[in-house]
Amino acid sequence: MTELLDSLLNDVERRVRADDPDAVGSAARLAERYPESVKAWCLLAYAHARQGNTEDAILDITRAIRLSPREPALLFDRGRYKLKTAQYRQAVDDFGEALALCDLHKDDYYRESLHFLRADALLKLGLKAEAQADLGYVRDDFALWTTELRTKKALSDECLK
């Protein structure tokens, strides 16, 4: 069953990336058919996000989080979706929880990006000192797409205004 599901997920993901208009429906059917599959819910969230349906993406990734609550990548994704929809306080919470999970797992893969994204959300909340503290964990040459392509320098400059 795992090989079949992986094959189906790969096919639908390829179609989502190709902007196939039927791919979201296929992703939804996979999530319905395999409701305990974190990957199916993540793919549906991604498909919704690609179509600009960020609210449904948040619902889908939240379902994945319920299935796998100790996975920082899921909170990373939901935080990004919430940042995109101006739910800044909730984004800060998701990024903070993901950072705690990075500590728990002793895994730094997402750490720098999480600090950067949280700094951006904190700035949008007017919390400049907190944002600057998060930027202390980020390389000077770091850049990432948040709601637009942002650099550490740009965020740092906003903290000083």
Residue 146's pLDDT band (boundaries 50, 70, 90)? confident
Residue 156 tokens, joined:
């740092």
Residue 41's pLDDT band (boundaries 50, 70, 90)? very high
Q: Are 74 and 102 in contact (CB under 8 A)?
A: no
- CATH number of the structural domain 71-161: 1.25.40.10
Q: Do domains 1-69 and 71-161 have the same CATH topology?
A: yes
Question: Is residue 30 helix, strand or coil?
Answer: helix
For the cut 70, the answer to whether the pLDDT of residue 10 exceeds it is yes
C-alpha pair distances (Å), 5 with each of 1, 69, 111? 6, 21, 30
For the cut 60, the answer to whether the pLDDT of residue 82 exceeds it is yes
Domain map (residue ranges) of the chain:
1-69, 71-161
CATH fold, domain 1-69, is 1.25.40
Using only C-alpha atoms, the chain has a radius of gyration, in whole angstroms, of 17
Residue 147's pLDDT band (boundaries 50, 70, 90)? confident
- Name the one residue in this structure whose structure tokens are 């000083």: 160
Question: Is residue 55 helix, strand or coil?
Answer: helix
d(Cα 32, Cα 48) in Å, to the nearest integer? Answer: 15
For the cut 70, the answer to whether the pLDDT of residue 1 exceeds it is no
Helices 111-124 and 72-84 meet at what angle, rounded to 10? 30
Give me the phi and psi of 150, to 5 degrees please. Answer: -120, 155
